[in-house]
Amino acid sequence: MMAKRPAHSLTQLGSAVTIPRSPDKAVLEAVPNRHRDVDYVARFTAPEFTALCPVTGQPDFAHFVIDYVPAKSLLESKSLKLFLVSFRNHADFHESCTIYIGKRIVEAIKPKYLRISGFWYPRGGIPIDVFWQTGKLPSSVWLPDPGVSPYRGRG
């Protein structure tokens, strides 16, 4: 039997919450990393991300792969989902959205390493892929390929 987990100050997990009105209003929450003695990669994959083109207002679609090596904290997944969905009515360029997401995660959990891969579907016939990383990947950690094919319909 697992030991009882300590109470956390999570405000979204287990509660009915509304989608944040904007990414700036979204709260990314953290939980303690119970395995701080081990370096490992945690991966979030968000294949149905949407934001708005800042010029036309048309929807833009992306497939995100977020890899990080946690330090003291893990990123709580419901807060990440709410954060990502808050971009649905947010207008910004692909590069800016991708980097902003990465920076907010780093601010929230201060990982040892983070890599965000943003695979954006074509706008004007050209797919834009954006990659950003920060921190140092521990030498003992295997970082898998993001696993998203170069654009051929992104299927």
Beta bridge partners, 51, equal: 60
- Catalytic residues, which ones? 53, 60
- Concatenating the DSSP letter of every residue in the chain gives -PPPPPP---SSTTS--PPPSSGGG----EEE-TTTTS---EEEEEEEEEEE-TTT--EEEEEEEEEEE-SSEEE-HHHHHHHHHGGGG-B--HHHHHHHHHHHHHHHH--SEEEEEEEEEEETTEEEEEEEEEE---TT--------PSSSS--
